[in-house]
Amino acid sequence: MPGDLVTLLRQRGLRHLSVEGGPELLSQFVADSAIDHCLLTLATQFVGEPAPAWITGTAHRWTRTSVLRTSNALFLRLDRVVDG
């Protein structure tokens, strides 16, 4: 499970991990609460076919902590909301 991997890497001193993948990989990390921050880029491009979801599964809450806007993209930093 992704959470086990993150725990092992933290025990070995790793503080940051970049996860890039498709919907299945990202969904596993999110479902396991193994992602604290998400860097999301929105580009000005239209997709001709129905675009696949970039994540699947149940809803998870995030809060926007920073925004950077350029002429053709929007960069968002999102932090996971921890309930309880």
pLDDT value at 84 more than 70: no
Percent of the chain, pLDDT > 70? Answer: 99
- The full DSSP string for 25-43 is HHHHHHHTT--SEEEEEEE
Structural domain boundaries of the chain?
2-80
pLDDT in tens, 15-42: 998 988 888 888 899 888 888 999 999 8
Architecture of the domain defined by 2-80? 3-Layer(aba) Sandwich (3.40)
Coil, helix or strand for 62?
A: strand
